[in-house]
Amino acid sequence: MKRSRKFFFLGLIIFTLLILYSSIDPAASNWFPKCPFLSLTGYQCPGCGSQRAIYQLLRGELFQAYQYNPLLVLSLPYIFLGLLFEIPSMKNKYQKAQKILFGYKSIYIVLGIIIVFWILRNVLA
């Protein structure tokens, strides 16, 4: 009971966010919070551009989304797979793949990618 309630609220929040981010362009609106890291340091964080990227993604503009935040777009398949493996039956069915893709080695690779991306996007920009 409690669990289904949790999922209901989570679903409601995600649904609201989807509506919000598909109807308003964060690039053209003041209402969306700016990245605190960027505001404070002047450097982009690994997540900068995510809101604008989500807006573009929801409109089907994959390339535009990629330009705002390539990391977000590239990590989507991995995130979806990770969520899929949260379902116990899926996890059991693809145990080996789950172990390889979400084992500690992969996790450290993910961490490395995020940090390298963080540095590069500031150096190359």
Partner 1 sequence: MKQYYYASGDQQLGPFSFEELQSKRISTDTYVWYEGLADWTRAGDLPELNALFEATTMTPPQPTVQQSPPPPAAQGGYQQARNQGGYQQQYQQPNGIKPKTWLVESILVTIFCCLIGGIIGIVYAAQVDTKWAQGDIQGAQKSSDNAKLWVMISLGIGLVITIFYVFAILAGSAF
Subset of 39-68 contacting partner 1 (CB under 8 A): 45-47, 50
The rounded distance, in Å, linking the Cα atoms of 105 and 125 is: 30
Could you say whether residue 79 binds partner 1 (CB under 8 A)? yes
Neighbours of 44 (CB within 10 A): 17
Among candidates 58, 67, 76, 71, which has minimal Cα distance to 21? 58
In whole angstroms, the minimum distance from the beta carbon of 77 to partner 1 comes to 12
Kindly write down the DSSP assignment for every residue of 63-99, as one continuous string. Answer: HHHHHH-HHHHHHHHHHHHHHHTTSHHHHHHTHHHHH
In whole angstroms, the minimum distance from the beta carbon of 61 to partner 1 comes to 18
The rounded distance, in Å, linking the Cα atoms of 17 and 20 is: 5
Q: Which of 1, 33, 40, 124 binds partner 1 (CB under 8 A)?
A: 33
Q: Which of 1, 36, 40, 77 binds partner 1 (CB under 8 A)?
A: 36
Residues of this chain that bind partner 1 (CB under 8 A): 30-31, 33-34, 36-37, 45-47, 50, 69, 71-72, 75, 78-79, 82-83, 86, 102-104, 107-108, 110-111, 114-115, 118
